[in-house]
Every structure is written in C-alpha cells, then in structure tokens.
Amino acid sequence: MEETVLSVRRLSKSFGRKQALHHVSFDCQAGRIVGLIGANGAGKTTIMKAILSLIKSQGDITINGQASTFNHHAALADVGALIEYPGIYPFLSGRDHLKLFARPTADKVQRIQTVIRDLHLAPYIDRRVKGYSLGMRQKMGIALALVNQPRLVILDEPMNGLDPQATKDLRELIKKKQAQGTTFLISSHILGELQKLAEDLIVIDHGRVVHQTTMQELLARNQHFLVLTTDQDLRAAGILAENGYLVTAHAPIRVQLRAADTVAAVLKTLTSNGVSIEDVQHEDGDFEQSILDMLRE
Ligand SMILES: Nc1ncnc2c1ncn2[C@@H]1O[C@H](COP(=O)(O)OP(=O)(O)OP(=O)(O)O)[C@@H](O)[C@H]1O
C-alpha cells in the first residue's frame, strides 16, 4: 500500500498584494522521486519554503502523518533540505559543518563518513568553506541535507553549479537513497535533468498546480518520428500521405508515428510501391515541448 510522506493541501502564499501560491495541493508517496517543474518565478521555491516553515503560509502540510505548521514543526526533524544557497560559515571546514548538523546519535561519525564518501567530498572536506567553488558549496549543502538520513529530502535546483560528472554522481546518489526508501521532492526548471530522475511530476504555473502526472505518462505523450531518405522523396511522401500517414516534412521525409503506426508498415508501404529506402532514423520529440503543450492545454 502507498504511504504518503508529504501531503500539501490548499497551500497559499501572498507577498504583499502579490499572490505567489494559489491553493497548491499534492502528495509525495514514500520512496518516490517527485519533480516540481515550472518556469522561473512559477512558485517552486516558495512551495518548498512553506513546507519547511521558512515562511508563513496558509493551508495544511502533513509530514509523515504529522501536521506541520509555522509554529509547530516537530515533523521537520525527519526532513533534509537544500533551498537556494546553502547557509554556510566561511571560516569553518566542510567537516565542521557536517559535525554541527549531524544529529548526536551513536552512528554520527559513520553517517558523516558515508556522506563524504557518497558525494566524493574527501579532497576538500577539511578545507575552509570560504575557498570552495560554487559546485563544491552546492555539494556541501546536499551533504548537509542527507547527513541525518532523513525520510524526506527537499532539494531546490540541486544541480545548480555542478559539473557534468558531479551531476551524474548526484543523480546516482539520489537513486541509491531512493532504493533505500528515501522520498525526494526536487525542483528544477531544467526539464532534461528531471527526466532522468523524477517518477512523479507536479507542473507549477503562476503559483498553481496545473498538472500532476508521471514521467512515464509524459514520455508516452512525447511524439516519435521516422526520418527517411529514399531514391524519390517527393513521390514517397505522397504515397505515405495517401496511405493515411502523418507526413510532417518532405526532404528528408518525416513521418509522425502514432500509436498504431509501425516502422515495418511504413517501410512496406514504400517498398511495395517501388520506392528504394536509403536511410531510416528515429527521432523523438522534444520533452520540453511536451510540458509546454501541457501548459497550453
Ligand atoms: N520574498 C519575496 N517577496 C516578494 N515576492 C516574492 C518573494 N519570494 C518570491 N516572490 C515572488 O513569488 C513568485 C514565485 O517565486 P519563486 O521563487 O517561488 O519561484 P520559482 O519557481 O522558485 O522560480 P526560480 O526557478 O526562478 O527559482 C515570484 O513572482 C516571485 O517574484
């Protein structure tokens, strides 16, 4: 049975006269990676700050079955987070930060070692944070979010400032933690990044949840094309159109594959009409376009 780790109901927030969030509701189920997608200014950070009681808001937030409010937020003890830039003390080392943040239980030292190893922090963990690059600081912030092995981890644009290797490492680490049961809520405006990570998607637009879907569903909506070069492209495009295929370009020929269309049937239609095929390629539609189409619906 699914277990709800985070439940957000009718979350609203205004900054002066500007309403940044309008009755936002969604759930995060245990062990899922949930992506919060939206353009700049859509309200992602505000949602995360409200969940973490960093700002006052209206609505109901329940974490691990416990109501969490601005003044009563014991449930946040089991939540790790990185919001915007990590708050750091420049003259302390990375290890000092971890020691400060780590809960004083018997396995404290071991947890610190684990997070240093998992995030490959060893080369600079004993240096003052003052000298860290943006990416190193970001990794430090993620380490602080993970060091207490919380059940729910909230990460606001976690790939910011990370190089391709560190991005890949973080993705793998998030997946590893997920396999151990951790739930993640991750925001990003870089859709490709969430594509490789998130299973559930919450699309935010102008402070509202405009869609809740799964990555699987979104990818299924994505369009697929067959790009063909033949010995007589113009005639071949005509033959395909006459046979009911959706031809979107002529040289080379681009055919949109709908659910019932198979590559074999497209090729057979051409060869049986005496067209010789010189090249065949698959092309996937734009993932970002799928989201934009969704926003327009
Ligand atoms: N402290 C604040 N005072 C006034 N307006 C704010 C404040 N914080 C956020 N806003 C406004 O609320 C809206 C949502 O901002 P938010 O930072 O949550 O968006 P976002 O989706 O996280 O964007 P980005 O991807 O750029 O970080 C924006 O219009 C922003 O200008």
**One domain, residues 52 and 146:** yes
pLDDT in tens, 135-184: 888 889 999 999 999 999 999 999 888 888 888 888 888 998 999 999 99
pLDDT in tens, 176-212: 899 999 999 999 887 777 888 999 999 998 999 988 9
Domain boundary among 162, 189, 219: 219
**One domain, residues 185 and 95:** yes
- The CB of 188 under 6 Å from ligand 1? The reply is no
* pLDDT score of 287 more than 70: no
Q: Is pLDDT larger for residue 260 or for residue 99? A: 99
**One domain, residues 254 and 177:** no
pTM for the whole structure: 0.82
* pLDDT score of 111 more than 90: yes
pLDDT band at 70 (very low <50, low <70, confident <90, very high): confident
Give the pLDDT of residue 227: 93
Task: Please report the ipTM that was assigned to this predicted complex.
Answer: 0.95
Q: Which residues of 243-266 are buried (b: 16+ CB within 10 A; e: fewer)?
A: eebebeeeebbbbbbeeebeeeeb
Ligand 1, from 45, 85, 188, 209: best to mutate by most atoms within 8 Å of Cβ? Answer: 45
* pLDDT score of 247 more than 90: yes
* pLDDT score of 118 more than 80: yes
Nearest to 133 by CA among 88, 168, 178: 88
**One domain, residues 279 and 208:** no
Atom of ligand 1 nearest to the CA of 48: 18
**Which domain CATH number covers 282?**
3.30.70
Counting every residue written for the chain, the total comes to 297
- The CB of 189 under 6 Å from ligand 1? The reply is yes
**One domain, residues 235 and 125:** no
Give the pLDDT of residue 297: 67
**One domain, residues 194 and 290:** no
**One domain, residues 116 and 181:** yes
Nearest to 120 by CA among 90, 157, 94: 94
Number of domains in the chain: 2
Ligand 1, from 46, 205, 210: best to mutate by most atoms within 8 Å of Cβ? Answer: 46
Backbone angles phi, psi at 32, to 5 degrees: -105, 155
Give the pLDDT of residue 232: 93
Domain boundary among 190, 219, 248: 219
Give the pLDDT of residue 295: 66
**One domain, residues 170 and 282:** no
Domain span including residue 281: 222-296
Mean pLDDT, all residues of the chain:
90
Q: Which residues of 38-69 are buried (b: 16+ CB within 10 A; e: fewer)?
A: beeebbbbbbbbbbbbbeebebebbbbeeebe
Question: What is the maximum alpha-carbon separation in the chain?
Answer: 77
**Which domain CATH number covers 22?**
3.40.50.300
Task: Give the range with max mean pLDDT: 23-32, 181-190, 204-213, 279-288.
Answer: 23-32
Average pLDDT of the segment spanning 237-254:
92
Q: For residue 244, report the distance from its CA to the centre of ligand 1, in Å.
A: 48
Atom of ligand 1 nearest to the CA of 55: 1
**One domain, residues 36 and 170:** yes
**One domain, residues 123 and 242:** no
